[in-house]
Structure 1
Amino acid sequence: MKKSLVFISLLIVFVGTQFAAFSQQQRFPKPEFESGYTQPVTSMPVPSSGMFALLDVLVLIAALSLITWFILKKRSRTGVVAVSIFSILYFGFFREGCVCSVGSVQNVVLALFNPGYHIPLSALAFFVIPLAYTLFFGRTFCAGVCPLGAVQDVFLMRPVTLKKWLQKALGLIPYIYLGLSILYAATATDFIICRYDPFVGIFRFNATFFMFAIGAAFLLISIFIARPYCRFFCPYGVILNLVSRVSKNHLTITPSNCIQCKLCESSCPLDAINKPVEVKQMEDKRSATRRFILLSLIIPALMVVGGWTGANFHENLAKVNSKVRLADEMLHFDSKTMNESLEIVGFRTSGKPVKQLYLEASEIVKQFYYGGWILGAFIGLIIGLALSGLSTYRYREDYTPDKGNCVSCARCLKYCPVEKD
């Protein structure tokens, strides 16, 4: 009943906000997502946007503090839902999905590799602050402060559990996506996370049919599969996953000692609860040693194969860069049989020497060659570690959250009959 009311309320808010958006003038120009538009470098924000940026950071801190209190102290799923709806309304529809912690990964990478780029302080804050909270309290940002995760969580009605092997396979996609986004940001090619964000176009009411269809598909899938974008696509989630593993004050299923009632066993829609492992299920030392030696050989081999594969595809990856694409078009242009594109006309009008364009494009392709090696080796490492995780047994006495994959949504808390001491 409560879920249905939340779902209906969200739809009403969505329709109402859409009507208001069409009846009022937009505060900011709407960026295009499929026309090759590239966001300009911002060296200093204008005063009005600076005020909004400060407000955004303060609201982010307040929302993170509040939801962390709801999760760890009050142990309240209702409080998490309330903050989730607020985040959808404020960070989603009101602030139109920007500044976004997920997309801020690219701003940070570009600032590290391009000295001429001055990262907005708000983007840096949105990158660092959720990481700081995650380090101490787990992924409370994902629980309901991130509008992308919150909107999926609210839509979850009939959760189904995926097979373990399928979760592992799909779980590799965010690492690949993170690697690609870092590569394209480091080479100043594109911000692919922002360009292909499935929900930001909906938040801004300007999505193309293709992107609207993708966003709608994610929301429909979210009714049955918990947080499909967060689990199987979000690149920022990869970083939060790693940081959360060492979090000291992470959410616990039981407020006291586990009594092994097993009521929480199937309560997590993300399948992020570690079940007890008996001693007799653990492997012997000889088997563990053999497996360790085998993985010590397989993981480096996977990294070398992955790096070699990435390096061989570097030219294809580089063609996403507009300068490389223009150089390739100029190189293969035949004035007798082909008409000049707008890009070629614009380049000729600039008066820039073609030789200089080729040199710049060649340097970018070289960057992609080394980047392809690193990206491929990284993916090979992730695959090797995933194989290692499938064959690793850890002795556990209680039902505990998987700190990396748990998003602290607090759905499991109501299943525990143990009272707080």
Structure 2
Amino acid sequence: MIHWTHGGEDRSARWHSEAGAAAPRRVVPADDTLPADAAYRMACEGTGLLWQGDFQNARHLLQALMRRADGRGRKPGGARGRAKASASTPAPDGSGPAQAFHLHRQAQAQRARVLGMLLIPVQGDHTIALRRAPDWRPALAEAWGAPDGTPRVVALRELLGIVGAHEWRKKGVEVPALGTPPGNRIHPHYGVFSPVRGEYVELVAQVPLPAGAKALAFDIGTGTGVLAAVLARRGVRRVVATDQDPRALQCARENLQRLSVLPQVDVQEADLFPAGRAPLVVCNPPWVPARAAAPIERAVYDEDSRMLRGFLGGLGAHLETGGEGWLILSDLAEHLGLRSRAQLLAWIEEAGLRVLGRHDTRPRHGKAADPADPLHAARAAEVTSLWRLGAAA
């Protein structure tokens, strides 16, 4: 619960943060009369600003806070400025790409903390009782579930993220590897990683299937279900798709149903592998071995390469004789100095596996061509690979 005083009365509400952020220790009411400079100073001090004014003015204030946060971050010597150092050459302070990455993450976290201080009260029925407030009840129900009558306070920035995810869910993401429109869209749910990096999906769609894979394949960490759908569209008669996130499981089932391949796919809750063996086991683990700052980041950041090592360590016990494990992995971590190619190959060998082949592709997302991105050098050099792994002879 968080507590504040308004109009001489003590008030409280449940603090809600999907990102797992701690509630502000001090909360004060704020409205349209609060200057942006004062709001920014209070937010930097850790004071939560509980908005009582016009909702659209709160959005304008958030934009003003963003400009100030980004402007401050570009001061010479600041964490954000140091993070702009090349991720393939030493930074000006003598640090390497790993240090540049960690400074970048540190700056991102600080920015998120400051922007997360602008708070919005949400009623127990998911309505926002502020002037000119939009009706976001459908979006909040998707993210939080049905209203339970409990008032909440949530960061405006997080609310906007929920609404953005709601729009993506309605519109869907076109995945060319699934065929032609309109039957090639994946609809990501809130908190489930969207397959916007289509190049890795195309690898799974194009690499020849190993012998026996038309009968059975496992998709480990299915997420939206996109790779399970690709395998089913390629003619695999039964795919077992696993995930441990309830949101991902529901998302995968809905996408597979919409794509008319759910009868071919068995969606199961599991931490990595289902029971049994298969001629083909596919996994696209998080690519960067770093700690996720929020649950939604776990599809990108895998602390200590837990999922990657778990997949490699258990693959041999779940492959049929002569079967293949397909590991879809970017080498971004190598360019950032967070994991070496030698380390990856050592884990493969220690797991009793060998490399049967590798298929590479280059990223096509905007950041790979954006020199202003703090990690541009690493992103520009990035290669995404499908590693074909088999049991060691």
* TM-score bracket relative to the smaller structure: under 0.3
Using structure 2 for the length normalisation, give the TM-score: 0.24
Which structure: greater helix fraction? 1
Task: Determine which structure has the larger strand proportion and give its number.
Answer: 2
> Which structure carries more relative contact order (alpha carbon 8 Å, separation 6+)?
1
Taking structure 1 as the reference length, the TM-score comes to: 0.23
